[in-house]
Amino acid sequence: MAELVAQDIHVRYGKNDVLKGVSARFGDGEIVALLGRSGSGKSTLLRAIAGLETPVSGRITVADRVLFDSEAKVNLPPEARELGLVFQSYALWPHKTVAANVAYPLKLRKRPAAEIDQAVSEVLAGVGLEAYAARYPSELSGGQQQRVALARALVYSPPLILLDEPLSNLDAKLREEARLFIREVIKTRKLTAVFVTHDQVEAMAIADRIMLLDQGRIVQQGAPEALYSQPESLFVADFMGVNNRVEGKIVARGEGLVQIAVGDQRLWGVDKTDGRSDAGTGLVRVEQVGVGEGQGDNHIQAALETSLYLGGRWEHVFRAPGGARVRAETQRPLAPAAYALHVPREHLWVF
Amino acid sequence: MLRFFSSLCLTLSLGLAACAPAATSVDHAAHKGDDLVRAARAEGTLSIYANTDASEVAAVLDAFKVRYPGIAIDYADQNSTELYSRFIAETAAHQGTADLVWSSAMDLQIKLINDGYAQSYVSAEKGAIPDWAVWKDQGYGVTAEPIVIAYNKRLLSPDRAPHSHAELRRMLEADPQAFEAKIGTYDPERSGVGFLYYSQDRLASAESMDLYRAIGAASPKLYTSTGALMERVASGEHLIAYNMIGSYALERQHKDPSLGVIFPSDYTLVMSRIAFVAADARHPNAAKLFLDFLLSRQGQELLAKRSLQPVRTDLNGGGVQRPAVDAARPIEVGPALLANLDEMRRLRLLMDWRDAIHGR
Amino acid sequence: MDRKLRIGVVVGTTLAVLAPLLLVVWQSLLTGPFFARGVTLSGRAFLFVFSDGDFWSALANSSLVAAGMTLIATPVGAMLAFLLTRTDLPGRRWIEPLILAPMFISSLVLAFGFVVAFGPVGVVSLWARDLFGVVPWNLYSMPSLILIAGLTHVPHVYLYASSALRNLGSDVEEAARSTGAGPLRVALTISLPMIRPSLLYASVLVFFLGFELFGLPLVLADPQGRLVLATYLYKLTNILGVPSYQLMAVVVLVIVAIALPLVFLQRKLLAAADRYVSVKGKATNPKPISIGAWRWPAVAFICAWLLFTVICPVLALVLRAFVSSWGEGVNPLAMLTLDNFRQVAAYPSLVRGVVNTLLIASVGGAAAVCLYALISLAAHRWRSGWATLLDYVVLLPRAMPGIIAGLAVFWVFLFFPPLQPFRATLLSLWAAYTLVWMAYGMRLVSASLLQIGPELEEAGRVTGGGPARVSFDITLPLVKAGLVGAWLLIFVTFLREYSTGVYLLSPGTEVIGSLLVSQWATGAVDIVVALSTINIAMVLGGLFLIALFQRKARNG
C-alpha cells in the first residue's frame, strides 16, 4: 500500500518562495500528473518528494513511513526513500552499459548476482530492450534511452514512481506511443505514480488525476475531464485547452449568467465572476464555437481572415468588427466571406 | 688598531708557514682525539648547514667518511639567509637542527655566536690557525678567501686591467663612458656579502668612497647572486666585477680561461667561512670532529683543490693563488662585525653608499 | 558525502590554508621573529615599510608591469585561442601543447634563457649586431620586461579562452559568416565578445600574477636596481642585516590585500561566465571555420610568438648547458662539452634532486589531485555558506608569494607538534606545493566536475546509493579523463616550481627548483644550466604526454 501524502510543503531558493504551502494526497495505485508552466513549482514538488530538495517546512509520508517532517526533524536522504525516479534527461550513466545501468540499484541492495541477472533481463524484456543489454546508452535512440531509464526505476520494485517530464525529449510520434506504454507499465505493476509535465494533453492522456500548479500553489485538482470542463478559475480554464479569450464589460447579470459587452457585441455566458467587478473576461474553447450564417442570440458577425489546415479539420481566424479575433474549427474549408459565429452560452465562461 | 694587529698576525704566520713542523697537527689530534672519535662514532650521524655548495666540499666529505667510518653526514647547502632562518627557527622549536653551522655570511655567524647559539670547543688544530680567524673558541674561520676584481680577458687585455683599487678608480675617472654599464658588483642593500665587503672597504681605505663614486658614475649593475654576476662578466656583458669572491672566480677560471682575476695590490680583503658547533647540537662530538677535520691539513688541502684558500698558516696556500702577504686584509672573525648589524649604523652606511652610487 | 564529512573537509582545508597565513599576519605585528624571546607587539614593521620609498616604487613598478602584461597577454591569448580552437589552422594539434610551454618552464630558467639569447651579448643579439651594426633592443629596459612578462603569460589567457570557445556552439559563428562576415570579423565581433566573461576572468588572473612576478624581474630588472614587490621582499631580507620577517610579512599582506578584491571580482566574473554558457545551450560538434589565405599570416604570427618566447630562450639555455663559455668573442661551437652534466651526475644531492622532482611531480601530483578532488567533491553541488567559504579559502594561498608560503609551511611543520616528524621529509614539500597550487588545481578539478549533469548523480542517489557510494561509482568514473588531464597539468606545474621549496630544502628533500635557487646564488651557473636543461626535458616530456592524451580523448 503506497499512499503518498504531502502536507503544507514550503520550498525556498534564497529569497525566492518556490512552493508556498502545497498539500496533496496521492492515492494507492493512482497516476497523478503535476501540471503547470515552467516555474510553477511542479518539478520542485517532485524533487522534494524524491529528497533532492529540502523543504523549509512540511511533512511527506508514504504509507506510514515518514520521509520528511520539518517539525520532527526527519529528513531521509534520497537513497533511503525507496522510490523510483525517471529524469527528464533520463540520466543514464554513460560509462555503464544498459544492463549495468539497470543492475546498479540491485547491486546497491546487495542482491546475489544470479538474481540481479534475472531481474535485469526480465525488466528489460518488459520494456522491449532485451537485445540491447550490452550496449552503451549513447548507442541507443531517445525512445530506447527513455525505456532504459524507466527500467532502471522499476527494477527494484519501488512502491512509488516519480517521472519528471518523461516525454519532453521525444519527438511527437514517439511521444504518443510512449504515453500509452508508460501508463500500461504503471498500471500492470499497480504502482503509485507522480509525473510532472507542462503539456495538458499529455497530462490528460496518462493521468487518473491532475494537479494544476501555479506560482507555488495548487490551483485546482481533479479528474482530467473535471479540470477541462469545470475550471474554477480563469487560469485553469485558459491553461487546459485551446481557447478564444475576450476582455469586456459586464453589462447585465441573470440567474447564473452574465452578459458581457465586447465592442458592440453582447454575449451571455456562465457566471464565474466574484460579482464585484464590472470588467470581465470571456473564455470559450475553440472547438465549441459554431460557424454558420444568419443571426441570433450569442452570435458574432465576423469576417474570415485566414485558415490553417490541421489534417482532418480546418482552423479559421475571424476578425469581428470591434477588432477582436475569434478562432473556430470546421471539418471543411470556408470561402472568404463574413460569417456568423455562434458562442453557446453554456460554453462561454465569464470570469 | 685591531685590524693592523690581525694583519700583522697573518703576515707573521704566513712567514712562518714554510718552516712550521708538519707533524704537529696529527700528533695533536692523536693525543686527545681517541675519546672524541669514539664519542662521535657513538653519535653516528652529523648534520651540517652550510652555504658552500655540496659539490665544492664533496671531496672533504668523502675523505671524512673514509677516515671516520660509521658517521653519516647530512650536508644541507642553502643560501646564507635561508640557513640563518632555518637554524634559529629550529633551535627555538627544539626540534633538532644542525650540529655544525658553516657560512660565509660572517656577520650573521658572529651574531649567532654572540647570541649564544654556539658552544665552545678548543679545536685540536687551533695552533695552526691565525688568531684573526678564531673567536671565543667558538667561531672558526675555515678559509681565507681573497676578495678580487674579476674581468673579462677577451675584452679587457691584462695589461689594461686595473691592479689596485686606486688604479680602478683612476681608470673609471679618466673614461667613465668606456665603462658605462660595464661594471657589476654586489648590491649592499640586497646582498649580505655585498654589505660586508662594502663596509670593510671603508675600514680598509679612507678613499673608498671616491672609488664608489667613480663606480657610480659608470652606471654599474648590481647583483645579489654570485652566479649571475660572474656569468655576465664571463660572457662579456660586463668588463669588470668588483669585489667578487676570489674562490669562485678562480674556480671558474679553470674552465673558462677568459676570466681574469686580480688581487688588488693596495689591499686585498680576505674573508672566511665561519664554522661553529651549535649549542643545541645533538651530535656535538661528531660536529667537533668534523670541525677539526675541516681545519686539518688534509681537509684544508682538499678545500684548496676547489680554490677555497686555506686558512692554515702551514700550507702555503695549498697550491691556490693568494694575495701578496703585505696586501692581505683579513676580515677579523670577531665582535667588530656585530656593528654591521646595528640598524642605525647599517642604514647610515647604506645611505652613504646610495649617495655615492647615484652621484649625489 | 554527508553533511558532517563535508563540513569536516571544509574546516580541515580552512585550517590548512589559514594556519600559514595567520602566522604571517601575526608575524607582521611583531618586532622580531615570532618564535624569538622578548618580541613585542608593534606596528613598527608597517611604519617602516610604508615610509620606505623603495616600497612605493616597487609597488608602482609592479602595478605598471601587471597592467602592461595584461594588456599584451589578453589580446594575444584570445587571438591564439580563436585560431587554434575555431579555425582550420594547419598543425594546430601540435602547436597547442607548445603554446602552453612558457607556463611550465620556471620563469627563473626562462629569464636566464632570455639573457643568453637576447642579452647585450646574447647569441641572437650578437647576430643582430652583425646585421645592423647595433643591438636594436635593450633586454633590461622596463618595456622589455613588460613585453616578456606579457608574452609569457599568454598561455594563461589561452587556457581560459580556449575552453570557453570550445563550449560555444559553432552555430553562432556560422550565422555570422552566412550574413557575410570574414573570419577575423567573426572572431572580433562574435566569438570573442561572447566569451568576454572568461577573457575578463583570465585578465584579472594575469593582472594578479603580475604582482607576484619574481623570476623575470629578478634576472632582468634587478641589476638595474629596479624593484618589484616580490624582489623588494629580497631586499627586506637583507636591509637590516638579519632576515626581517615582520617586514616581509607586511609586504605579503599588501599582496594579499591586492589579491582579495581581485578574487572577489573573479568570482563574480566566473558566475557570469557560467551563466553565459548555459544560455548558449547545446554546443553542437564545433566545426572549424575555414580561414583560407589567412592561414599563412596566422601561422607566421604564432611561429613568431613561439620563436621569441619559447624556442629562442630555451635553445639558448640548452646551448649554454653544453658549453663552458659564451658571449662576446666566443665561438660557442668550439666550447662544446658535457662537463656540466657530468658534474650533476657526480653529486648525489643533485641526482637526488632530479629523482625527487620526478617523484613529487608524479606521485605527489597524483596525491594532490586526489586531495583537490576530495575537497571539490565536498563542496560539489552544495548550496551552503560553507561552500562559499571554501571558494575563498582555496584562493588565499595563491596570494602568497611561493617563497613566503614555503617559509610559513616550514614554520607550521616546525612548531606544530603532530607535524614535526614529517618536517624533513618530502611530505612537507608536498604539503607546500599542494597548498600553493590549490586554487589552480581545484579549478581544474571542479571544472570537470561541473560538466557532469547533476541528474546523473541524483539518479544514483534515488536508486539507493549513499553520497559516498555515488561519488565513487558515478561521479569519479565520469570525471576520470578530467582528473587525468588535471594530473598532467599539475605534474608539469610541480616539475617547474622553484621558490616554494627553498626553505624546505634538506638532505633527502632536494628538488630541482630549490637547488636552482641555491646554486644560482653561490655561482654554480654550470650546474644551474644543466639542471634547468634536465628540467625542461622533463617538462617537454610532460607536454608530450598531454598532447597524446588530448589526441586520445578527442578520438574517443
pLDDT score of B22 more than 50:
no
Residues 6+ apart with CB under 8 A from C341: C321, C530, C533
Integer Cα distance of B186 and B223 in angstroms: 5
CA dist C207 and C259 (Å) reads 10
Alpha carbon distance C479, C485 (integer Å) = 10
- Interface check for B55 against chain C (CB to CB < 8 A): the answer is yes
- Residues C277-301: tens digit of each pLDDT: 443 434 445 567 777 777 888 888 8
Give the model's pLDDT for residue B203: 92
pLDDT (0 to 100) of residue B14? 38
Cα A52 to Cα C462: distance, rounded to the nearest angstrom: 8
Q: Give the type of residue at A80.
A: A
Place of cell 672524541: B36
Give the mean model confidence (pLDDT) for residues B117-139.
93
Q: What is the pLDDT of residue C554?
A: 64
CB contact under 8 A, C328 and B84: no
Give the per-residue pLDDT at C272.
66
Query: Does the pLDDT at position B1 exceed 50?
Result: no
Q: CB distance from C461 to chain A under 8 Å?
A: yes
Long-range contacts of B29-36 (CB under 8 A, 24+ apart): B29/B124, B29/B125, B29/B292, B29/B296, B32/B124, B33/B124, B33/B289, B33/B292, B36/B285, B36/B288, B36/B289, B36/B292
Q: Which pLDDT tens digit goes with each residue over C363-405?
A: 999 999 999 998 888 887 777 778 778 878 887 887 788 888 8
Cβ contact C464–A79 (<8 Å)? yes
Segment B34-39 shows an average pLDDT of: 88
Whether A contacts B, i.e. 3 or more CB pairs less than 8 A apart, is: no
The Cα B339–Cα B325 span in angstroms is 27
Which residue's entry shows cell 500509452? A180
Q: Please name the amino acid found at residue B44.
A: G
Does this chain's domain C1-21+338-556 share its CATH topology with C62-226+258-337?
yes
- Average pLDDT on C114-122 reads 87
Model pLDDT, residue C277:
46
Q: How confident is the model at residue B268 (pLDDT cuts 50, 70, 90)?
A: very high
- Give C275's pLDDT tier (boundaries 50, 70, 90): low
Give me the half-sphere count of Cα atoms (radius 13 Å) on the Cβ side of residue A153: 35
Query: At how many degrees (to 10) do helices C229-239 and C53-86 cross?
Result: 150
SS3 B84: helix
Highest mean predicted confidence (pLDDT) among A309-323, B41-55, C325-339, C437-451: B41-55
β-strand partners of B260: B151
B54-74 pLDDT tens trace: 888 989 999 999 999 999 998
For the record, the C-alpha cell of B128 comes out as 695552526
Tell me, what's the pLDDT at B18? 38
Does residue A325 or residue C522 have the better pLDDT?
A: A325
Smallest Cα–Cα separation from A316: which of A281, A292, A295? Answer: A292
Residues of C with CB below 8 A from B222's CB?
A: 222-225
Centroid of chain to Cα C203: 14
* Cβ atoms < 10 Å from Cβ of A188: 9
Minimum CA–CA partner of A79 in chain C:
C464
Beta bridge pairs of residue A11:
A19
Q: What is the mean pLDDT of residues B203-213?
A: 93
Check residues A208 and C174 and name the one with the higher pLDDT: A208
The Cα angle at residue B338 between residues B332 and B342, in degrees rounded to 5: 145
Among C235, C240, C350, beta carbon nearest to B346: C240
CA-based nearest residue in chain C for residue A153: C463
Reported as type and span, the H/E element at residue C535 is helix C525-554
Structure confidence at residue C281 (pLDDT): 36
Record: contact C464-A89, CB cut-off 8 A: no
For residue A204, is pLDDT > 50?
Answer: yes
Nearest 5°: the CA angle B275, B60, B269 is: 50
The model's pLDDT over C33-92, given as tens digits with 9 standing for 90+, comes to 888 877 888 888 899 899 988 899 999 999 999 999 999 999 999 989 888 888 888 877
Of C35, C327, C347, the CB nearest to B237: C327
Q: Is the pLDDT of residue B16 over 50?
A: no
Query: Which segment of C23-32, C269-278, C508-517 scores lowest on mean pLDDT?
Result: C269-278
Q: What is the DSSP letter of C336?
A: B
Best CA proximity match to B355, nearest among B254, B262, B246, B217: B217
| Chain C touched by B223 (CB under 8 Å) | yes
Across C456-461, average pLDDT: 88
Q: Is B59 an 8 Å CB contact of chain C?
A: no
To the nearest whole angstrom, how far is the Cα of C465 from the nearest Cα of chain A? 5
Domain borders along chain A are 4-232, 242-350
Residue A17's SS3 state is strand
Lookup result for grid cell 672609488:
B211
Query: B237 vs C235: CB contact, 8 Å cut-off?
Result: no
List B residues 259-318 in contact with C (Cβ-Cβ < 8 A). none
Q: Please answer whether residues C58 and C401 qualify as being in contact, where contact means their C-beta atoms are separated by less than 8 angstroms.
A: no
pLDDT band at B23 (very low <50, low <70, confident <90, very high): very low
- Among B184-188, C265-269, C400-404, top mean pLDDT goes to B184-188
CA–CA separation, A323 and C146 (whole Å): 69
Domain A242-350 in the same topology as domain A4-232: no
Q: Kindly give, in sequence order, each residue whose CB lies less than 8 Å from that of residue C348, ignoring residues fewer than 6 positions away.
A: none
C225–B187 C-beta distance less than 8 A: yes
Helix (H, G, I), strand (E, B) or coil at B218: coil
Contact call for B227 and C507, based on CB within 8 A: no
Q: What residues form DSSP beta bridges with A20?
A: A10
Q: What is the mean pLDDT of residues C151-160?
A: 89
State how far the Cα of B90 lies from the Cα of C326, in Å rounded to an integer.
Answer: 42
The pLDDT value recorded for residue C94 is 76
Task: Write the residue in B189, B235, B347 that is nearest to C235 by C-beta.
Answer: B189
Q: How far apart are the CA of C380 and the nearest CA of chain A, in angstroms? A: 14
| pLDDT level of residue A176 (50, 70, 90 thresholds) | confident
Helix or strand run (H / E) with residue C93: helix C92-104
Which residues in chain C are closer than 8 Å to B95, comparing Cβ atoms? 414, 420, 423
At C286 the pLDDT is: 58
Fold (topology level) of C62-226+258-337: MetI-like fold (1.10.3720)
- Spatial separation of the C-alpha atoms in residues C523 and B251, rounded to whole Å: 10
pLDDT at B28: 47
Say whether A135 sits in a helix, a strand or coil. coil
Average pLDDT over chain C, rounded to an integer: 83
Give the nearest partner residue to C462 out of A85, A94, A95, using CB atoms. A85
Q: Which residues partner with A128 through β-bridges? A: none
- Cα angle: A176, vertex A177, A181; to 5 degrees: 120
Residue from C124, C522, C527, C528 whose CB has the most chain B CBs within 10 Å, to mutate: C522
Between the CA of residue B247 and those of A9, B271, C347, what are the distances in Å?
A: 83, 10, 20
The predicted structure's pLDDT at residue B285:
94
ipTM: 0.81
Mean per-residue pLDDT for B141-147?
A: 94
Residue A120: which of A97, A142, A92, A151 has the closest Cα?
A151
Helix/strand/coil for A33: strand
Helix (H, G, I), strand (E, B) or coil at A221: strand
Number of continuous H segments (helices) and E segments (strands) in chain C? 30, 0
Q: Determine the distance from the C-alpha atom of residue A303 to the mean position of all C-alpha atoms in its chain, rounded to a whole number.
A: 35
Q: What's the whole-number average pLDDT of chain A? A: 88
Interchain contact, B235 vs C121, CB within 8 Å: yes
The band of A325, judged by pLDDT with boundaries at 50, 70 and 90, is: confident
Residue C219 and residue B82: Cβ atoms within 8 Å? Answer: no
> From the centroid of its chain, how far is CA B52?
10
pLDDT at site B329: 93
Looking at the complex, does the CB of residue B336 fall below 8 Å from at least one CB of chain C? no
SS3 content of chain B, % helix, strand, coil (to 5): 50, 15, 30
Report d(CA C259, CA B228) in Å as an integer. 31
Span A61-101, pLDDT tens digits: 998 899 999 999 999 888 888 889 998 888 888 888 999 99
CATH number of C1-21+338-556: 1.10.3720.10
Q: How far is CA A124 from CA A101, A103, C88, in A?
A: 11, 10, 45
**DSSP per position, B169-207:** HHHHHH-GGGGTT-EEEE-TTT-HHHHHHHHHHHHH-TT
C456 vs A contacts (CB less than 8 Å): 91, 93
- What cell was used for B184? 657589476
pLDDT for res B164: 94
Beta bridge partners of A1: none
Q: Mean per-residue pLDDT for A306-315?
A: 88
Question: Any idea which architecture A242-350 has in CATH?
Answer: Beta Barrel (2.40)
Give the range among A171-185, A272-286, C47-61, C275-289 with minimum mean pLDDT: C275-289
* Contact in structure between A315 and A298 (CB atoms under 8 Å): no
Q: Counting beta carbons within 10 angstroms of the beta carbon of residue C334, is it exposed (0 to 12), middle (13 to 18) or buried (19 or more)?
A: exposed
The chain-wide mean pLDDT, for chain B, equals 86
Listed residue (B355, B293, B317, B300) closest to B100, CA to CA? B293
Tell me the shortest Cα–Cα distance from A134 to chain C, in angstroms. 18
Contact between B292 and B123 under an 8 Å Cβ cutoff? The reply is: yes
Map grid coordinates 509520508 to a residue: A61
**pLDDT(C556) > 80:** no
Question: Rounded to the nearest 10 degrees, how much is the dihedral formed by the CA atoms of C456, C458, C460, C464?
Answer: -170
Q: pLDDT of C405-424, one tens digit each?
A: 888 888 888 888 888 888 88
Q: How many CB atoms neighbour CB A276 within 10 A?
A: 5
What class is the A4-232 domain? alpha beta
According to DSSP, residue C459 is labeled: H
Please state, for a pLDDT cut of 70, what percent of chain A lies above it. 99
Does B51 contact chain C (CB < 8 Å)?
A: yes
Query: What span, in angstroms and rounded, lies between the C-alpha atoms of C222 and B184?
Result: 12
Q: Does A55 touch chain C (CB under 8 A)?
A: no
Q: How far is C165 from chain B (nearest CA, A)?
A: 42
Mean pLDDT of B139-148: 95
Minimal C-alpha gap between C173 and chain A (Å): 26
Handedness of CA A89, A92, A98, A102 (dihedral sign): negative
- Cell 503518498 belongs to A4
Least confident window among A276-285, B13-22, B249-258: B13-22
